[in-house]
Amino acid sequence: MHNVINFENTENAFHYKSDRKLRKAAFIYTIISKAWLVKLAKPTTNFLLRIGFPIDPFLKHTVFEQFCGGETISSCQTTVNDLYKTGKVHSILDYSVEGKTDEAFFDHTLQTMLEVCKHAMDSKAIPFLVFKPTGLGRSEIFEKISANETMTTEEIEEWHRITQRFDTLCSRVATTDHLKIMIDAEESWLQNAVDLLVEKMMLKHNVERTVIYTTVQMYRWDRLKYLQHLHAFGNDNNIRIGIKLVRGAYMEKERERARIKGYKSPICSDKRVTDLNFDDGISFAMDHLEVFDIFIGTHNEISCRILIKKLMERGLKNDDPRIWFGQLYGMSDHISYNLSANGYNTSKYVPFGTLKEVIPYLFRRAEENTSVGTQTSRELSLIKKEIKRRKKVAVAQ
248 is a site residue for ligand FAD (CB under 6 A): yes
Touching ligand FAD, residues 360-389 (CB under 6 A): 372, 375
Bridge partners, 347 (sequence order): 90, 326
Residue 67 contacts ligand FAD per CB under 6 A: no
Stretch that binds ligand FAD, among 77-85, 198-206, 241-249, 334-342 (CB under 6 A): 241-249
Q: Under rule CB under 6 A, how many of the chain's residues touch ligand FAD?
A: 26
Judged by CB under 6 A, the residue of 45, 79, 91, 215 near ligand FAD is 215
The answer to whether 339 contacts ligand FAD (rule: CB under 6 A) is: no
Closest residue to ligand FAD, based on beta-carbon distance = 297
> Which of the stretches 115-123, 145-153, 240-248, 376-384 binds ligand FAD when contact is defined by CB under 6 A?
240-248
Instruction: Tell me which of 10, 217, 345, 370 binds ligand FAD, using CB under 6 A.
Output: 217
274 belongs to the binding site for ligand FAD (CB under 6 A):
yes
Between residues 110 and 183, which has the closer beta carbon with respect to ligand FAD? Answer: 183
**Shortest gap between Cβ of 41 and ligand FAD (angstroms)?**
21
Give least dist CB 270 to ligand FAD, A: 5
Query: In angstroms, rounded to a whole number, what is the distance separating the alpha carbons of residues 191 and 184?
Result: 10
Specify the residue, 156 or 302, whose C-beta has the smaller distance to ligand FAD.
302
Does position 326 bind ligand FAD by CB under 6 A?
A: yes
Q: Which of 12, 298, 336, 345 is the binder for ligand FAD (CB under 6 A)?
A: 298
Residues 278-297 that bind ligand FAD (CB under 6 A): 297
Q: Tell me: does residue 219 bind ligand FAD (CB under 6 A).
A: yes
| 327 touches ligand FAD by CB under 6 A | yes
> Any residues with CB less than 8 A from the CB of 391 and at least 6 apart, and which?
none
Distance CA 291, CA 288 (A): 6
How near is the Cβ of 187 to ligand FAD at its closest, in Å?
Answer: 8
Buried b / exposed e over 78-117, threshold 16 CB at 10 Å, is: ebbebbbeebbbbbbbbbbbbeeeeeeebeebbebbeebb
> Out of 249, 258, 289, 387, which residue is the one contacting ligand FAD (CB under 6 A)?
249
Q: How far is the CB of 374 from ligand FAD (least distance, A)?
A: 7
Residues 297/336, Cβ–Cβ less than 8 Å: no
In the complex, least distance from residue 126 CB atom to ligand FAD, rounded to whole angstroms: 14
Q: Which residues bind ligand FAD (CB under 6 A)?
A: 184-185, 215, 217, 219, 246-251, 267-268, 270-271, 274, 297-300, 326-328, 349, 372, 375
